[in-house]
Structure 1
Amino acid sequence: MRHLLATALLTLPIAAQAVDLPKPAAVFPAQDWPETRLGWQLFYDPILSGNRSVSCATCHHPDLGTSDGLSLGLGDGATGLGTKRVIDAKTPPEQRIPRNAPALWNLGATEFTVFFHDGRLEDDPNRPSGIRTPLGAEMEMGFDNALAAQAMFPVLSGDEMAGHLSENDVAQAVRLGQLTGDGGAWDILAKRVEAIPAYRTGFDDVIGADTPVHFTHIANAIAAFITFEWRADQSPFDAHLRDGAPLDAGQTAGMNLFYGKAECSACHSGLFQTDHDFHAIAMPQIGPGKAARFERHNRDVGRGRVTGDEADFYAFRTPSLRNITETAPYGHSGAYASLEDVVRHHLDPTTALAAYSINQAVLSEGAFTNDTALIENAKDVAAIAAANTLPTTHLTDTEVAQLIAFLGALTDYDSLKGRLGVPETVPSGLPLDK
């Protein structure tokens, strides 16, 4: 039951054509090349972290599906990539990063307007800035869109890029609440970048030689790069939608289940298999949870933390399924390392939650007291189960295999290394994560 035989798929008859398939009509705005090139360099450059040791690519690397291959990553205070990331004994991290690093595929498409597992950042045309964040209007102006504004969150997080306590100037500014303005965390990072001649010259072509570099310029360049680099819409499924190219027997049967009996498309709708909405599906939570340090608990109530509405507790954003075979582990806390396991969770969420073991996750070295704190708390587990809105679905092992075959048809293999790839060097001269 746990091991699906690929050979079984070869003998399946091709099912009738599924109906109501999405239209291949994604819109990706064209990007300015000088800005995109700057974003490429900045994405891989550790200069944007407090201790100059962590880059965007540390947790979003093409070798790891634009994520980090871990259920919950280690940011500042560790070195290496994925399961080879090791803790620095001199300045160890305080905890794991509270949520799984989301993949970056197709985030530059115009339909993506809501970001993060809880949707706390979104495009909002009714606001002067055009975006809405939980950090207030002072931190909204200057970003091209919410995709660009994403970049401000990791650099201000001690767990991710800023560093802890007073170990560097960025961490000190964050601890004092000095985020914007002269001497704030953003200003420190922007001045670091501007002081590097290759970056200053690059920004001359984007913002003009007389305009000082602001953190929002850096963020906009990174967003331009993400839009250009991580487009993934040339999968077998896309060829089927555009040109009628046939899928194989197992993929076709899985597609019909996905858009039919299994009702996956009720939430995983649209071209990129997401309704951009939030749902509580009793997903297990490991690690520290997204809670303020002073709250002294490990619960992560997801969308409810943003809206304050108990009806939104334990609801998380529907992830896109593009390149899903390459982006394990799965779930907001990366609870499942196996694609089959997370598919089976969806069939009977509360039963899967009750039976969950942290052995189903992938964690790097080190043991933290809060790794299993929540899943060992019966009251908290019961609250997650009670919030579940996903009904039980009955599928055979063969049908599960067919679904997984279809998910494989969503992989755009040509996209996996990116259009530009990993640069050999970056302007700061700092070492890259490879």
Structure 2
Amino acid sequence: MFGQRHHSGLVKLCYASLFSAALFANASTSIEASAPTELIAKVRTSTEVGLSWQAPEGVSGIRAYRVFRDGQRIGRTAMTFFVDSTASPGVEHTYHVQAVARGKITSLASNSDTVKTLAHDNNDGLRNGSVIRIGIERLSDHCGSNDVTAIADDALNDCLDKVLDSVDIAPQLENLQAYVARYRRQEDRELIELGKRLFFSKALSQNHDTSCASCHHPAESCGSDGLSLSIGVNAENPDVMGLGRTDGSTVPAVGRTSPAVCNSALWVGSMFWDQRVKLRQANRDSEVGLVSTAPIQTPELDVTRAMNEQVDANDPLRLLMAQAHFPITAPAEMGDPSGFESPQAYREFIAARLSTQWKPLFEKAFGDDTVNFMRIARAMSAYQASFMFIDNPFFDYVQGEHDKLTADEKRGALFFYTGAGCANCHDGAMFTPERTRGPLYPQIGAHGVADGNAKNQFRMPSLLNVGITAPYGDKGVFASLERVIEHYSDVTGSLERFYGEKETCQLPQFQHLSESQCDEVVGEAGTFVLDLNAQNRAGSDRSDDAIIRGFSDQEVQLLAAFLRSLTDPEAMAGSNEVKSLIPPRDGGPDGHQFDAVDNEGNAL
């Protein structure tokens, strides 16, 4: 489905040209002393699990691989990819593989990976787990107390189970898992490989100095850069990613923080902080979290027409494909199209400029070597759609593994769904309704005044993996979850504190600046935000006392503990899953690959 060549939506399994080259490399390492590496298991249905791995490094003469499930051999393949189609529904399975050479000499076992299959295949996977609810749960209705700290440890599970049952989290989790499994069934590995190389290629930028991964690296912040305000073109060292990446200016030209790329395929209604790429339908006409075939709307008529005329309305990649058109033509991010007839003409110029070394990759992915921007967008979108991390300790708890959460995390969850009011906005299994809403966040930087929609609001982010996506907010103004929670506790007081205590200078990206330079980063945004907040308060029918939540220090810590439990361990840098999203450090097809390093020169 993701590629233009497909058969009944099934994954292409024959990738010998891509995966078997390593089987016959000239090497002398003993197979008995080596092992396949980076085994990854992905759930596709209630009975199917896709496996992929890397061949043992430096080993020659490998003839095949043996595949094991729960210690029992279930198959054999000559490739580094296998689909187990005989798994049991709703069961945890553990997999490993062994390489086999001539004479049935076997390698050591690979690493193992454990996944839980879907309970059934009755869910069509067209809902991402988002919901909108009005009102909050009363803790006393379920637990006999309104104080989460007064609940005994041995009563926490029963109490939390009642709350989660009341908010219907289990059905939404089932929707989310079926949604992700649907994408994984449709993955096209050749297309993803091309997309990965393009995503890391500086050849897509005007001056060959910036790639998509320059601001969205898998090893940083779940596919971001860890900066408050990102640095795109004209970086002093274009290979540096994250802290230390600078263009030499006090105020970065990019006016917002880079949103995390992980789970971007979960969004069904819009893309970008300001939702400038979205479906053309009114909120009242759309079910929250449901995949829709409504027309796509973008800031450019050319892109809008192309997406709606050339891309099928049922294509699962179409929102991501539309999104992929715009960083390329953002002057501060990747390139300035002003010298061309139109932004679309500039995009096709960039596509045509790709060297002939790219053609074999396009031919493998599309069946011929034609290169155009729509194909580039499709390939990068297929890669981004493979970048999904939804398995976390909280979801394990929801599925009955009560020991996966600590007592503090359980109390934090109870407070989240009751007294704190967080679930008013961050509900369902995706923890966002995909809508814009307040409160007003501090603003800084080049877009610090009158940014966002007409109400200066931005799309509410998902809280999945929020523990590793700092700094927070559309301008990256809060470096910790605790500071974010304090902001929601008293928005007016938090805004006054942020600007009064010059917290911009405390952000990691700006700690080296002088106080006057930090004032320059803030610019007129402080006055604008404080005045806007005063106007909002004057127009509200709620008193100041009514909107100040007044969280205690302990409540802040409990909420932060729960929020961190929403992070998938496999989304962390160094995991096999993250490693698989980063191409080999070989310069890419044309030598323009972004082989990222940190500020100290360490490879990412």
Is TM-score (shorter-chain normalized) higher than 0.5?
yes
Does 2:503 match 1:342?
no
Q: Which residue of 2 aligns with 1:280?
A: 438
Cα distance in 2 between the residues matched to 1:51 and 1:93: 22
Does 2:429 match 1:429?
no
Q: Which residue of 2 aligns with 1:185?
A: 346
Cα displacement string for residues 99-135 of structure 1 (whole angstroms, at most 9, x for unaligned residues) = 11001221112x4321111111113489999411121
Once the two structures are superposed, the pairs formed by residues 329-368 of structure 1 within 5 Å of their partners are 329-356=471-498, 357=502, 358-363=504-509, 367=517
Retained in 2: the 8 A contact 1:77–1:93? no
Cα distance in 1 between the residues matched to 2:548 and 2:299: 35
Cα distance in 2 between the residues matched to 1:128 and 1:231: 22
Cα distance in 1 between the residues matched to 2:250 and 2:342: 22
Q: Which residue of 1 aligns with 2:205?
A: 49
Judged with a 3 Å threshold, the aligned counterparts in structure 2 of structure 1 residues 95 and 405 are, in CA distance, closer, same or farther, namely closer
- Between 278-287 and 416-425, the greater mean CA deviation after superposition: 416-425
Cα distance in 1 between the residues matched to 2:202 and 2:533: 37
Report the identity percentage: 28
Cα distance in 2 between the residues matched to 1:93 and 1:159: 14
TM-score where L is the length of structure 2: 0.60
Cα distance in 1 between the residues matched to 2:189 and 2:371: 18
Q: Which residue of 2 aligns with 1:202?
A: 361
Cα displacement string for residues 183-203 of structure 1 (whole angstroms, at most 9, x for unaligned residues) = x2111111123x332x21121
Q: Which residue of 1 aligns with 2:269?
A: 113
Judged with a 3 Å threshold, the aligned counterparts in structure 2 of structure 1 residues 395 and 72 are, in CA distance, closer, same or farther, namely same
Cα distance in 1 between the residues matched to 2:518 and 2:552: 38
Cα distance in 2 between the residues matched to 1:236 and 1:105: 18
Does 2:530 match 1:381?
yes
Select the residue among 373, 390, 403 that pairs with 1:233. Answer: 390
Judged with a 3 Å threshold, the aligned counterparts in structure 2 of structure 1 residues 277 and 129 are, in CA distance, closer, same or farther, namely closer
Q: How much has 1:34 moved relative to structure 2?
A: 1.0
Does 2:406 match 1:248?
yes
Q: How much has 1:333 moved relative to structure 2?
A: 0.8
Q: How much has 1:374 moved relative to structure 2?
A: 2.5
Judged with a 3 Å threshold, the aligned counterparts in structure 2 of structure 1 residues 421 and 132 are, in CA distance, closer, same or farther, namely same
AA matched with 1:429: G
Retained in 1: the 8 A contact 2:443–2:529? no
Cα displacement string for residues 73-101 of structure 1 (whole angstroms, at most 9, x for unaligned residues) = 1110113111111336xxx6984311110
Paired residues in the alignment total 388
Judged with a 3 Å threshold, the aligned counterparts in structure 2 of structure 1 residues 12 and 232 are, in CA distance, closer, same or farther, namely farther
Q: What SS does structure 2 have at the residue aligned with 1:64?
A: coil
Retained in 2: the 8 A contact 1:117–1:332? yes
Once the two structures are superposed, the pairs formed by residues 26-425 of structure 1 within 5 Å of their partners are 26=176, 27-28=179-180, 29=183, 30-65=186-221, 66-78=223-235, 79=237, 80-87=240-247, 95-109=252-266, 111-124=267-280, 130-141=295-306, 142=310, 144-162=317-335, 171=336, 173-180=337-344, 184-193=345-354, 195-197=355-357, 199-209=358-368, 212-228=370-386, 230-246=387-403, 247-289=405-447, 298-304=448-454, 313-356=455-498, 357=502, 358-363=504-509, 367=517, 370-377=520-527, 379-387=528-536, 391-417=547-573, 418=578, 420-423=580-583, 424-425=585-586
Cα distance in 2 between the residues matched to 1:67 and 1:392: 32
Cα distance in 1 between the residues matched to 2:305 and 2:506: 39
Query: Which structure ranks higher in relative contact order (CA pairs < 8 Å, sequence separation ≥ 6)?
Result: 1
Q: How much has 1:265 moved relative to structure 2?
A: 0.9
Cα distance in 1 between the residues matched to 2:449 and 2:276: 17
Judged with a 3 Å threshold, the aligned counterparts in structure 2 of structure 1 residues 49 and 280 are, in CA distance, closer, same or farther, namely same
Cα distance in 2 between the residues matched to 1:125 and 1:373: 36
Cα displacement string for residues 191-229 of structure 1 (whole angstroms, at most 9, x for unaligned residues) = 123x332x211212333316x32111111111111111x
AA matched with 1:270: G
Cα distance in 2 between the residues matched to 1:341 and 1:128: 39
- Between 349-358 and 423-432, the greater mean CA deviation after superposition: 423-432
Judged with a 3 Å threshold, the aligned counterparts in structure 2 of structure 1 residues 381 and 429 are, in CA distance, closer, same or farther, namely same
Cα distance in 2 between the residues matched to 1:283 and 1:186: 34
Write 1 or 2 for the structure with the bigger share of strand: 2
Cα distance in 1 between the residues matched to 2:209 and 2:473: 27
Q: How much has 1:432 moved relative to structure 2?
A: 1.8
Q: What SS does structure 1 have at the residue aligned with 2:278?
A: strand
Q: What SS does structure 1 have at the residue aligned with 2:191?
A: helix
Cα distance in 2 between the residues matched to 1:428 and 1:233: 34
Which segments of 5 or more consecutive residues in structure 2 lack a partner in the other structure? 1-148, 283-291, 312-316, 541-545, 598-604
Retained in 2: the 8 A contact 1:133–1:140? no
Cα distance in 2 between the residues matched to 1:266 and 1:112: 20
Judged with a 3 Å threshold, the aligned counterparts in structure 2 of structure 1 residues 118 and 12 are, in CA distance, closer, same or farther, namely farther
Q: How much has 1:369 moved relative to structure 2?
A: 7.5
Cα distance in 2 between the residues matched to 1:324 and 1:243: 23
AA matched with 2:352: K
Cα distance in 1 between the residues matched to 2:303 and 2:213: 27
Judged with a 3 Å threshold, the aligned counterparts in structure 2 of structure 1 residues 175 and 240 are, in CA distance, closer, same or farther, namely farther
Judged with a 3 Å threshold, the aligned counterparts in structure 2 of structure 1 residues 243 and 148 are, in CA distance, closer, same or farther, namely farther
Cα distance in 1 between the residues matched to 2:213 and 2:461: 20
Alignment RMSD, CA only?
2.7
Judged with a 3 Å threshold, the aligned counterparts in structure 2 of structure 1 residues 138 and 115 are, in CA distance, closer, same or farther, namely closer
- Between 410-419 and 114-123, the greater mean CA deviation after superposition: 410-419
Judged with a 3 Å threshold, the aligned counterparts in structure 2 of structure 1 residues 369 and 393 are, in CA distance, closer, same or farther, namely closer
